A and B are shown apart, each in its own frame.
Chain A
């Protein structure tokens, strides 16, 4: 029926602002999803690329603990037959660590190019122009001290030219290096890599005699399997053979909780935009009840009306998703910087240059946008198609129906809230279920909002109406137009609730962290070997330097720690080996186990583990934790569980003496300095600095510095959360503006009558602003309890399940005032244009239109 389609099309064109706003809402939702996918996929891809560049065609890796692998094992494997009658597997040794060049953190990879060539890793000289240069570079690679190779682009950024000497910093020690060749590879794979000979890497990283790993390539099939089995038998107990892909995956898995959180935030944005679309389509339908009623009376069938409304929604969905895709690319590009910075802080060195957008993400976002629009339109479409032809002409019927629905929604809301509670209770450890509960909770807020709005608006009309009939009109109108106002306020309420929840969560986290830092950072000053990456063995304080530091006057006592990552049957586990003075023991807050028993046990060989690790491995006090030591896997009794926010993988604490005995590693990563009575931290730090001048560049920090640093890393981590949160709030605000605009414009006739009986232009404007302001307040009223509940779900369910740590709830006024500002600003802004229009419109014209 062309008339029907023409009517539909015409209507959309006549309301471009409404159309645009609905599109903005949907595209923002889709864009957020795309942006988060881009940021996480790009970081992931960058990491995989650099792993591939280093691993080449390796099928397996032989890895050791923090002590590394004895290089003699490698020679032994190469010179002795593995499977008689079969060729040897390809083997290549790697010594790697993190270093700093200028202000750039890089991964130093020491390889033996002759062995790496077998595994398809060219060692970095493949890009040279001619064979002569390659040969010359090979000679330098082996014989020139400090010879390194890096990507041409990186060299340019660092201002390093071929043949030029520059310094690299390894854990605070400067070494001279010289660029002998450049990798002419446009890809991002080499962006963080600094390649050098294995001998040079051993010397720089203090790993002489040791290998970080041995890359292995075995042929596919039964021969390869036989080799792997024989290889396992041949390996000493302190090293393990891993599947190479699994190894990359394990590293990436470390970031999983972090990326899951990001994705949940993006889903939240889409959820908010679902309500937006619902609002926009509802209005579009409501505004056309008259036309649709006429068309129905003229013979248009229900299914035709249904089809046309759904088609509109689908078109809206497709266009919105397409715009969202483009917008998502833009936002995603910005988000990459934030995400990769967080990953560098917390996990591993990665430089993201190329934007990766998985096809699956595009499909997901487009389908998501499309079906979101369809789902949102389904209810209004069914409603308008279901109404009888002549009734379609009357608005009062619709409003009656809206009141009924609002009442029914109270029950729905209760059911949703109860479901949220049940999901939390029965889902155990599932993070996904945690998010599901969160969404149920927010939907429950949305469902109850129209009823709350009606009730409050009626009460306000009664109360204020005694003073002024205009006020009665203003508030009464809100209650009477529930079909429009209810949806808008519900959307805003949900967004505000989410915002309150997230800001309470962040604030609670921040306060818990601050408190924890206050307890944990007990030494007066800390001395650390600097460098990127946590638990890197090359971060070590040189023994001579340590003695010089400790000879400084004013030091009363000190602690020593070695921070490494050890292998375990459960994957890599961060371990801190500690030697604490007695006063330092109170630094740990136990959440399970008691200090009176735990510390003596600790001395006897038990471990104290962090809450996140206990959560991840489901360990309790008294359980056994297996770790791969230099003499094979050994189990350690868990003496206590302590509170820890520093590491979401969870840390294991062990006595330094035991660690040294079991891992043959005598290095120290950091020292805590306890001052003698009367000594001034600043003065002692200055003296310690002076004591090591000219040697290793150690990090000296007072406990206040450490706290400030930790807090700033925390803030950086949550920048993304906050950006997304504001984005979701932005979507809601736009939605509110869109809804109210449509509503207010539709009432222009009514307002013209009120003006004609004496309301001044200013009065009319004030009336509209009062209405929208009131709605903003109602959204806030609904959002505050919901926001609190959201915060509880976020801290106690989501954070616990994602990271394993417990956060104490901290409430502050700003969390609520921010929400108040958002709700009011959005609501008042939404009223501005209608207020101005009403104040300046020609009364006669508006009345005549009727």
Chain B
């Protein structure tokens, strides 16, 4: 999802401890036009090249969410995400003519990386998250491709093969370590217009966005030092650009649902401050064979059936009815745990969900991940 301004806030919030959030677009117009490549029209995607970094754009991320079952029957959800954010274009940070004479430090960079790792442990009714921040220098954090390798410290995500079909990931936080091997089951799906995804009517308020909707994962969750064998299904999201949301927009609700019949649904609903849905909201429906179709905003109906309040009194939607009449989809979506809120520098809810209902008119079930941004007082 579009997280640009929000990402800036997360970075700085983390660096300078919690405080009130700024208005959107802090890096502002200077950054918007200021030397970064802009997302203005569709482009040609090429894999595995586009799994790798696009440093000419201001921000980009590698987002993996998934649902896991242990061999003992325990249910887990996980989120591991890496963000790259450029504070200034490369030519500003590293001018062709060095400003001062002498050797330049390899710590000098405008590239900042952030990662979030969260585990939903349904059996223990426990949700845990952790954030990492680092500069993309001296080997502390960065991206290499091919094969893809994204890392901060000892957290990493990458592909083993140059083609990018076999992935691995590893992260650890207090009490939980996650080590997974992943096999891509379907090729990448381009969201929006051939991967060109608009977020508002402002020019440049768009991103390049693709997903890998079905990824088989297998590995282990180490809980309090005890390893558990796990397997399940993950979803990979990739997005990059230089713009941000429009000032009218407040946040978004993002759904990525994987159904038992092999189909999948992605939809993001952009919310305006006045509570209305922005017409640029959109989604993608993916068939069991991996064929995809773009969903316009008016094709998807979402009804909130229930709410959850966090201890500070912020109210999040917590139970939905999602309907896509054109695809015969009518499903009930419920969080696995009510509290899957990440109290990171910017607060948001991202959690594993259960899906029941009908797809193509047939009774089905499934799992997925939902992301809710812009609900919590920051």
Nearest A residue to B345 by beta-carbon distance?
A117
Q: How far is the CA of A122 from the CA of B177 in the complex (A)?
A: 28
Cβ of A114 within 8 Å of any chain B Cβ, yes or no, is: yes
Cβ of B123 within 8 Å of any chain A Cβ, yes or no, is: no
Of A73-81, A517-525, A805-813, which binds chain B? A73-81
Q: Are B107 and A202 in contact (CB under 8 A)?
A: yes
Of A139-147, A290-298, A554-562, which binds chain B? A139-147
Q: Are B112 and A81 in contact (CB under 8 A)?
A: no
Interface residues of B in 8-35 (CB under 8 A from A): 8-9, 11-17, 19-23, 26-27
Q: 1/0 per position for B16-57, CB-CB distance to A under 8 A? A: 110111110011000000000000000000000000000000
Q: How far is the CA of A197 from the CA of B153 in the complex (A)?
A: 20
Q: 1/0 per position for A193-212, CB-CB distance to B under 8 A? A: 00001111011001011000
Cβ of B337 within 8 Å of any chain A Cβ, yes or no, is: no
Q: How far is the CA of A218 from the CA of B26 in the complex (A)?
A: 35
Total B residues in contact with A, Cβ cutoff 8 Å? 48
Query: Which of A125, A135, A136, A202 has the most B CB atoms < 10 Å from its CB?
Result: A135
Cβ of A591 within 8 Å of any chain B Cβ, yes or no, is: no
Contacts of B105 in A (CB 8 A): 198-200, 202-203, 208-209
- Checking A75, A87, A135, A176 against B27 with a beta-carbon cut-off of 8 angstroms, the contacting residue is A135
Minimum CB–CB distance from A131 to chain B (whole Å) comes to: 4
Q: Are B133 and A142 in contact (CB under 8 A)?
A: no
Q: 1/0 per position for A367-406, CB-CB distance to B under 8 A? A: 0000000000000000000000000000000000000000
Minimum CB–CB distance from A543 to chain B (whole Å) comes to: 12
Q: Are A122 and B16 in contact (CB under 8 A)?
A: yes
Q: Are A72 and B138 in contact (CB under 8 A)?
A: yes
Nearest B residue to A113 by beta-carbon distance?
B15
Q: Which applies to chain B's interface (DSSP): helix, strand, loop or mixed?
A: loop
- Checking B21, B110, B174 against A87 with a beta-carbon cut-off of 8 angstroms, the contacting residue is B174
Total A residues in contact with B, Cβ cutoff 8 Å? 45
Q: How far is the CA of A117 from the CA of B151 in the complex (A)?
A: 19
Q: Are A71 and B26 in contact (CB under 8 A)?
A: no
Contacts of A71 in B (CB 8 A): 106-107, 138
Contacts of B87 in A (CB 8 A): 138-139, 142-143
Q: How far is the CA of A74 from the CA of B141 in the complex (A)?
A: 12
Minimum CB–CB distance from A804 to chain B (whole Å) comes to: 41
Nearest A residue to B226 by beta-carbon distance?
A85
Nearest A residue to B137 by beta-carbon distance?
A199
Cβ of A132 within 8 Å of any chain B Cβ, yes or no, is: yes
Q: Are A78 and B140 in contact (CB under 8 A)?
A: yes
Contacts of A142 in B (CB 8 A): 87-88, 93, 109-110, 112, 135
Q: Are B138 and A134 in contact (CB under 8 A)?
A: no
Q: Are A134 and B100 in contact (CB under 8 A)?
A: no
Cβ of A320 within 8 Å of any chain B Cβ, yes or no, is: no
Q: Are A87 and B172 in contact (CB under 8 A)?
A: yes
Minimum CB–CB distance from A177 to chain B (whole Å) comes to: 11
Cβ of A123 within 8 Å of any chain B Cβ, yes or no, is: yes
Cβ of A191 within 8 Å of any chain B Cβ, yes or no, is: no
Q: Are B225 and A85 in contact (CB under 8 A)?
A: yes
Interface residues of A in 26-73 (CB under 8 A from B): 71-72
Q: Are B17 and A80 in contact (CB under 8 A)?
A: no
**22 A–B contact pairs at CB < 8 A?**
A71-B138, A72-B139, A114-B14, A117-B15, A123-B16, A132-B22, A134-B12, A134-B19, A135-B12, A138-B11, A138-B87, A142-B87, A142-B135, A143-B88, A143-B92, A143-B110, A145-B99, A199-B107, A199-B108, A200-B105, A202-B105, A203-B108
Query: Which B residues lie at the A interface, using CB under 8 A?
Result: 8-9, 11-17, 19-23, 26-27, 87-88, 92-93, 99-100, 102-110, 112, 133-135, 137-140, 151, 153-154, 172-174, 177, 222, 225
Query: Which A residues lie at the B interface, using CB under 8 A?
Result: 71-72, 74-76, 78-81, 85, 87-88, 112-115, 117, 122-123, 125-126, 128, 130-132, 134-136, 138-139, 142-143, 145-146, 175-176, 197-200, 202-203, 206, 208-209
Q: Could you list 19 further interchain pairs (A-B, Cβ under 8 angstroms) beyond the known A78-B153, A117-B133? A: A75-B138, A76-B139, A87-B174, A115-B134, A117-B15, A117-B17, A123-B15, A131-B21, A131-B26, A132-B26, A134-B12, A134-B19, A135-B9, A142-B88, A142-B110, A143-B110, A145-B100, A203-B102, A209-B106
